[in-house]
């Protein structure tokens, strides 16, 4: 095993983690501010990817597609919030899970009716294809761009929450809903904005990842499960926790898939080692989650410590 | 008209009428994947199957279709329901081998026929073969064995091989290795439904492979090929047709051009049944059929041919009728081996672009007409 391989895998882990962060940031924000468990978050990721692919195919321009995906996901988020989610804030979590699960089915079927059952074509823009020479290894330019974009969005989100009026309202909303409503903040509008923001982040992740993955119905659910793992590890409601959790999950998952089979190959025959290694690697992040839950039941950075 | 003739006509009409009344209705239950990442495969199997039923215009057949969402537990529940409440005589439709392993053994034990249009896990072809189980597609290993054979012919000596960690993935790697003579640059199991292959591609880059063999059906193949295209690697890929057929090629785009893959069928296959099938499918659904659609079509025609000679309630007669496989397969020559899996020819295909559409064309033959799978030796039927 060479150093180049190790570095490439580390970059892969970080890139995967940053895309997970875009997903989990919205999820954790919505839970932190509104106390809502939104299972349909993965559907917004899917909507972002489909609208991006469709718009990119129609206009021939990836960036227009990206905008379309972002806007479609935010619009879908706002629409869902106003029509369905708004009625769920005062219900208990089981009702929320049931209603948002129904939304997954409705949105998946809706996307299938609109775009058909077959995966769509979406490719990275020509300017971002190919690889860059990092000195020690070749790395995909598009993945490198994803890393840069992920970091930029994370900084933007931090600035939004720490430095703007909206951010103050969001933080206040997390701490005491009744009080900020009493202070004259339009809490209903605030909730819609936060939900649309989370949806836009999910849509952005879907559109960006759509260019290197299969744009297909149901693409959001596997990511949603990982996003839940991330926010449980990071501490539900904490953006910082989502960032650390996402990077941990991204790097550990990538490294596990790559190192475990090699580790077992040192004392088992290759086929057997591959089987055992692959099976253990797919469990690794859940083991991590269980460990975090045992040691710090509220996650690494609990929002309401 | 004299009395005799009238009487004769009347008798003929009567016997015809009686015949029609005797032909009992048949319920076929189709459990297939119509939602999620594997939906393209199930939709094509279903559409191929429906096309054949439509062409046959047999009003005695009732088809019930349900979506298993690629989940074994759902498939098991649907199978139970179809047998208990719909009184299905024949089940079919399952795409994924892990689902087939969960459903098929208990179904055939209840004396219900199961005709597979896709999944062909090795246990069901070997030690766990059953008289009520027929596979109208292939045994899982088949196309991968052909890919191994093709890798030899292309002169590959150090291939990196990769498949998802489920029964069909194990069959794929075993099948490839059974025929491939060269060294393995590496061997990897990925997860079913995996979407990111960066970790695997990095390992291929780090190995000194001269070629890659993948088995990644449905969306998995699309994800891999997109990421592979952007990785800067340029090793030739050899594969079974599942990862490079009409369900995924439009989404893969030009990355897939030139990939060598194997199949028992190809849209350009030169026989009458196939020409008619491709034309009718395009006419009906406004897209090219995939290998899965061809299998759905073959499965339906196999069942229809058996229904013509036997009633499904007479299990032994119907089983014999199925075994005879007296239908025009779109793949050309088709017969059942003793383990109820096909004896057929396997072609080598290449992904090409025709009139702006990516599709496959035949460039050679991997196995001749008499190919049969190795697992039949373990089946004592």
- pLDDT-derived band at A2, boundaries 50, 70, 90: confident
What's the confidence (pLDDT) of residue A304? 61
- Whether pLDDT at A264 is above 70: yes
Contact residues on chain B for A112, CB-CB shorter than 8 A = 35, 39
Residues 249-288 of B with CB under 8 A from A: 250-253
Contacts of B234 by beta carbon, 8 Å cutoff, 6+ apart? none
CB A50 within 8 A of CB A61: no
- Whether pLDDT at B193 is above 90: no
- Whether pLDDT at B3 is above 50: no
Whole-model pTM: value is 0.85
Map chain A to HEC letters: CCHHHHHHHHHHHHHHHHHHHHHHHHHHHHHHHHCCCCCCHHHHHHHHHHHHHHHHHHHCCHHHHHHHHHHHHHHHHHHHHHHCHHHHCCCCHHHHHHHHHHHHHHHHHHHHHHHCCCCECCCCCHHHCCEEECCCCEEEHHHHHHHHHHHHHHHHHHHHHHHCHHHHHHHHHHHCHHHHHHCCCCHHHHHHHHHHHHHHHHHHHHHHHHCCCCECCCCHHHHHHHHHHHHHHHCCCCHHHHHHHHHHHHHHHHHHHHHHHHHHHCCCCHHHHHHHHHHHHHHHHHHHHHHHHHHCCCCCCCCCC
- Whether pLDDT at B18 is above 80: no
What's the confidence (pLDDT) of residue B326? 93
Nearest CB neighbour to A117, from listed B39, B230, B231: B39
> What structural domains and CATH numbers belong to chain B?
23-138+269-344 (3.40.50.2300), 141-263+346-377 (3.40.50.2300)
Instruction: Report the pLDDT averaged over residues A275-294.
Output: 90
What's the whole-number average pLDDT of chain B?
A: 90
pLDDT in tens, B287-312: 999 999 999 999 999 999 999 999 99
Assign domain A3-295 to a CATH class.
mainly alpha
- pLDDT-derived band at B286, boundaries 50, 70, 90: very high
What's the confidence (pLDDT) of residue B23? 57
Q: How far is B172 from chain A (nearest CA, A)?
A: 13
What's the confidence (pLDDT) of residue A1? 62
pLDDT in tens, B155-165: 999 999 999 98
Q: How far is B344 from chain A (nearest CA, A)?
A: 29
Chain B contact for A212, CB < 8 A? yes
Task: Report the SS3 class of residue B108.
Answer: helix
Nearest CB neighbour to A142, from listed B191, B195, B230: B230
Q: Which of A2, A269, A248 is nearest to A138 (CA)?
A: A2
Nearest CB neighbour to A270, from listed B43, B187, B198: B187
Give buried/exposed letters for A164-177 (b at 16+ CB in 10 A, else e): eeeeebbebbbeeb
A184: left (phi over 0), alpha (psi -120 to 50) or beta: left
Q: Length of chain A in residues, anyone?
A: 305
CB B142 within 8 A of CB B175: yes
Where is average pLDDT lowest: A252-256, A261-265, B116-120, B124-128? A261-265
Residues 74-133 of A with CB under 8 A from B: 108-109, 112, 117-121, 123-124, 129-131
Domain coordinates in residue numbering, chain A: 3-295
Return the percentage of chain B with pLDDT > 90, whole number. Answer: 77
What's the confidence (pLDDT) of residue B13? 45
Q: How far is A222 from chain B (nearest CA, A)?
A: 8
Structure tokens at A132: 């860059």
- Higher pLDDT among residues A302 and A241, named by residue: A241
What's the confidence (pLDDT) of residue A155? 94
What's the confidence (pLDDT) of residue B22? 45
Return the percentage of chain B with pLDDT > 70, whole number. Answer: 94
What is the maximum span of chain B, computed from C-alpha positions, in angstroms? 91
In this structure, what DSSP letter does residue B300 have? H
Nearest CB neighbour to A213, from listed B43, B226, B248: B226
Chain A contact for B36, CB < 8 A? yes
List, in sequence order, every residue forming a beta bridge with A124; answer none if it has no partner: none
pLDDT in tens, A191-244: 999 999 999 999 999 999 999 888 988 899 889 999 999 999 999 888 899 999
What's the confidence (pLDDT) of residue A148? 95
What's the confidence (pLDDT) of residue A73? 97
Chain B contact for A156, CB < 8 A? no
Nearest CB neighbour to A119, from listed B40, B173, B199: B40
Chain A contact for B198, CB < 8 A? yes
pLDDT in tens, B350-377: 999 998 899 999 999 999 989 999 999 9
CB B177 within 8 A of CB A110: no
ipTM tops the 0.85 cut: no
What's the confidence (pLDDT) of residue A269? 81
What's the confidence (pLDDT) of residue A197? 94
Beta strand pairing call for B211-214 and B237-240: parallel
Contact residues on chain A for B231, CB-CB shorter than 8 A = 131, 138, 140
What's the confidence (pLDDT) of residue B1? 41
What's the confidence (pLDDT) of residue A174? 79
- Higher pLDDT among residues A137 and A23, named by residue: A23
Strands (E), B333-376: 335-336, 342-343, 346-354, 357-367
- Whether pLDDT at B12 is above 60: no
Chain A contact for B34, CB < 8 A? yes
What's the confidence (pLDDT) of residue A243? 95
Instruction: Report the pLDDT averaged over residues B110-128.
Output: 94
pLDDT in tens, A102-149: 999 999 989 988 998 888 888 888 888 888 888 888 889 999 999 999
- Whether pLDDT at B14 is above 70: no
CA B30 – CA B44 distance, rounded (Å): 13
- pLDDT-derived band at A57, boundaries 50, 70, 90: very high
What's the confidence (pLDDT) of residue B16? 44
Instruction: Report the pLDDT averaged over residues B314-337.
Output: 94
């Amino acid at each position: 095993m060479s150093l180049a391989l190790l570095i490439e895998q580390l970059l892969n882990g970080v890139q995967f983690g940053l895309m997970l962060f875009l997903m989990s940031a919205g999820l954790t924000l919505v839970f932190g501010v509104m106390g809502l468990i939104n299972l349909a978050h993965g559907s917004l990721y899917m909507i972002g990817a489909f609208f991006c692919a469709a718009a990119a195919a129609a206009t021939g321009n990836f960036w227009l597609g990206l905008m379309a995906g972002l806007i479609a996901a935010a619009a879908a988020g706002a629409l869902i919030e106003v029509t369905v989610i708004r009625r769920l804030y005062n219900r208990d979590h089981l009702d929320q899970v049931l209603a948002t699960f129904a939304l997954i089915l409705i949105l998946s079927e809706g996307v299938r009716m609109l775009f058909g059952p077959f995966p769509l074509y979406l490719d990275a823009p020509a300017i971002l294809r190919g690889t860059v020479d990092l000195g020690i290894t070749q790395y995909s330019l598009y993945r490198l761009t994803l890393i840069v974009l992920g970091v930029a969005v994370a900084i933007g989100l931090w600035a939004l929450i720490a430095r703007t009026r909206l951010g103050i309202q969001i933080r206040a909303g997390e701490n005491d809903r009744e009080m900020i409503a009493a202070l004259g903040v339009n809490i209903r509008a605030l909730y819609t904005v936060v939900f649309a923001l989370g949806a836009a982040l999910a849509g952005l992740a879907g559109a960006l990842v759509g260019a290197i993955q299969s744009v297909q119905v149901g693409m959001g659910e596997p990511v949603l499960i990982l996003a839940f793992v991330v926010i449980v590890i990071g501490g539900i409601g904490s953006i910082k926790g989502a960032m650390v959790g996402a990077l941990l999950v991204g790097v550990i998952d990538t490294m596990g898939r790559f190192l475990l089979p090699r580790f077992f190959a040192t004392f088992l025959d290759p086929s057997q080692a591959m089987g055992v290694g692959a099976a253990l690697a797919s469990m690794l992040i859940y083991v991590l989650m269980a460990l975090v839950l045992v040691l710090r039941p509220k996650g690494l950075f609990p929002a309401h410590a | 008209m004299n009395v005799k003739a009238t009487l004769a006509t009347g008798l003929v009409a009567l016997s015809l009428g009686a015949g029609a009344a005797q032909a009992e209705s048949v319920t076929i239950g189709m459990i297939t994947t119509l939602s999620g990442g594997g939906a393209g495969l199930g939709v094509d199997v279903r559409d191929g199957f429906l096309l054949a039923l439509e062409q046959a215009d047999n009003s005695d057949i009732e088809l019930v279709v349900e979506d298993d969402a690629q989940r074994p537990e759902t498939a098991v529940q649907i199978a139970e329901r179809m047998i208990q409440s719909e009184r299905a005589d024949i089940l079919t439709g399952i795409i994924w081998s892990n689902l087939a392993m969960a459903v098929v053994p208990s179904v055939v034990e209840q004396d219900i026929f199961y005709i597979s249009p896709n999944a062909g896990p090795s246990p069901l072809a070997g030690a766990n073969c059953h008289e009520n189980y027929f596979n109208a597609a292939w045994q899982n290993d088949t196309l991968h064995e052909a890919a191994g054979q093709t890798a030899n012919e292309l002169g590959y000596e150090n291939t990196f091989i990769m498949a998802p960690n489920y029964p069909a993935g194990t069959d794929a790697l075993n099948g490839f290795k059974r025929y491939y003579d060269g060294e393995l640059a590496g061997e990897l199991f990925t997860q079913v439904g995996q979407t990111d292959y960066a970790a695997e591609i990095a390992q291929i880059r780090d190995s000194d492979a001269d070629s890659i063999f993948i088995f990644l059906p449905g969306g998995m193949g699309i994800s891999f090929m997109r990421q592979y295209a952007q990785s800067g690697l340029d090793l030739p890929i050899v594969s079974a047709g599942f990862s490079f057929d009409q369900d995924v090629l439009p989404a893969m785009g030009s990355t897939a051009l030139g990939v060598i893959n194997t199949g028992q069928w190809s849209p350009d296959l030169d026989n009458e049944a196939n020409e008619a099938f491709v034309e009718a499918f395009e006419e009906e659904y406004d897209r090219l059929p995939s290998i899965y659609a061809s299998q759905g079509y073959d499965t339906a025609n196999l069942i229809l041919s058996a229904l013509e000679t036997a009633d499904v309630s007479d299990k032994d007669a119907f089983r014999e009728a199925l075994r005879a496989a007296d239908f025009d397969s779109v793949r050309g020559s088709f017969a059942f081996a003793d383990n109820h899996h096909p004896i057929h020819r396997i072609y080598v295909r290449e992904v090409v672009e025709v009139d702006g559409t990516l599709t496959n064309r035949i460039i050679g033959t991997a196995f001749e007409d008499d190919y049969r799978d190795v697992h039949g030796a373990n089946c004592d039927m």
